[in-house]
Amino acid sequence: MQTDPFMPKAPPHIPAELIVPFDFRGDKEYSNDPHKRLDSLRDHHRAFYTPFPRGMGGQGVWVFTRAEDIRAVLKDPQTFASGGLRPFAKAIGEDWTLIPVDLDPPIHSQFRTLLNPVFSPKSMKSMELVILERAEEMTTALTDQKEVDFVPVFARPYPVSIFLELLGLPLDGMEDFIEIEENILQNSGDAQIAAIRQLRDYLAGQIDDRRRNRGDDLISFAVHAEVAGRPLTDDEVMGICVMMFIGGLDTVTSTLGYHFLHLARHPEEQQRLRNHPSLIPGAVEELLRVYNVVTTGRRATRDVEIAGVRIRAGDLLALPTTLASRDPNECPHASEVDLDRESAGHSAFGFGPHRCIGSHLARRELTAALTAWTTRLPMFRLKEATIPRSSGSGVIALESLPLVFL
């Protein structure tokens, strides 16, 4: 199967029949329709190995395509570790760790216990009015427009501005922050390393400032927090701040893009939400189920067999959680949006101990966005002759989404 001289080589312990040359970064079908492309991979493989690297390490990955297997991996951090997969600090010669995503139990639990109250339903509910006002303010600014590119005009600045305020960072730095985040997550080589160093230097200055001038923001919280009865180390503070910065600047933006692409392509469903706003919270859950954007990674800590394949210690795994949500074995017509579907579960926020800590904030942002657009702006559709393109190996995102108001 490995006859292409440009295709990376798989390790010798991988059976040839399990090798599939799928490239998260360069597959054209994935760029055209990532969710459909991933579905097609599940149609033929329960699990396979691609020699194309997905992250910074340059190593190929096992890809799992069924909900039961994805859940089993994510719920077993002893066998499938999260730590060590994001060597951002190592790339610039430092030793901090992304917290809590790059920690595994039992130490992971200490930091989740520290951070959970900050992102709890109660804490996020207190932000509902601010979130809705931001969505209404931004949609009101579009009322005179005949067409917009949804990604740069709304999907990006709306959730990013909210999270920057939570971090206590200036909104006028938004474009620079987004560029840094995109270079870290979407780029490689010198550009990626330079962006990591740039982010580290910027946050170091913010951390020093919060030590002298404590504020009511997430960076101040990290600087002055304690875990297990002790203050956080400098590396722990940096790890939390980098993780919050990266985690807060992409997933909701990406999710909004696919939700609004769907509504632009399905005017009957868009009109139904306009006529019945009470359907919006349920619609958000159904759209999250169908258009999940995250592929998360794990590393095998021991030799193990799962999904009928032998995994060796040190092998990397890729788990497209959209495939768990869209698994037809668990949900009828799983790839279709059904606004009347009764509480079908989804994997948009993951499973197990690393389940997304920001899920309560994300739900409120998505609900407020759909509410504002369907009450304050006219019907919209995809601009003619537009073919939306996607990119991203960890978080897939639309590069643009031109919408026309009717």
pLDDT in tens, 259-281: 999 999 999 999 999 999 999 99
Q: Does any domain span residue 28? A: yes
* Distance of alpha carbon 92 from alpha carbon 309, whole angstroms: 36
Q: Does any domain span residue 14? A: no
Q: Does any domain span residue 5? A: no
Q: Does any domain span residue 98? A: yes
Q: Does any domain span residue 2? A: no
pLDDT: which is higher, 114 or 87: 114
Give the pLDDT of residue 357.
Answer: 92
* Distance of alpha carbon 118 from alpha carbon 103, whole angstroms: 18
303: phi then psi, degrees, rounded to nearest 5: -65, 135
**Count of structural domains within the chain:** 1
Is a pLDDT exceeding 60 seen at residue 393? yes
Mean pLDDT of 384-388: 93
Q: Domain range for residue 37?
A: 19-405
CATH (domain of 154): 1.10.630.10
Give the pLDDT of residue 146.
Answer: 96
Given a contact cutoff of 8 angstroms between Cβ atoms, the answer to whether 352 and 109 are in contact is no
Q: What are the tokens at 230?
A: 């002790």
pLDDT, tens only, 155-175: 999 999 999 999 999 999 999
Give the pLDDT of residue 1.
Answer: 44
Alpha helices in 213-346 (DSSP H): 218-224, 234-248, 251-265, 267-275, 280-290, 321-325
Q: Does any domain span residue 11? A: no
Long-range CB contacts for residues 137-142, cutoff 8 Å, separation at least 24 = 138/372, 139/372, 139/373, 139/376, 139/377, 140/376, 142/377
pLDDT, tens only, 278-330: 999 999 999 999 999 999 999 999 999 999 999 999 999 999 999 999 999 98
Mean pLDDT of 381-394: 93
Given a contact cutoff of 8 angstroms between Cβ atoms, the answer to whether 116 and 357 are in contact is yes
Give the pLDDT of residue 342.
Answer: 81
Q: Does any domain span residue 157? A: yes
Instruction: Provide, rounded to the nearest whole percent, the portion of the chain with pLDDT above 70.
Output: 98
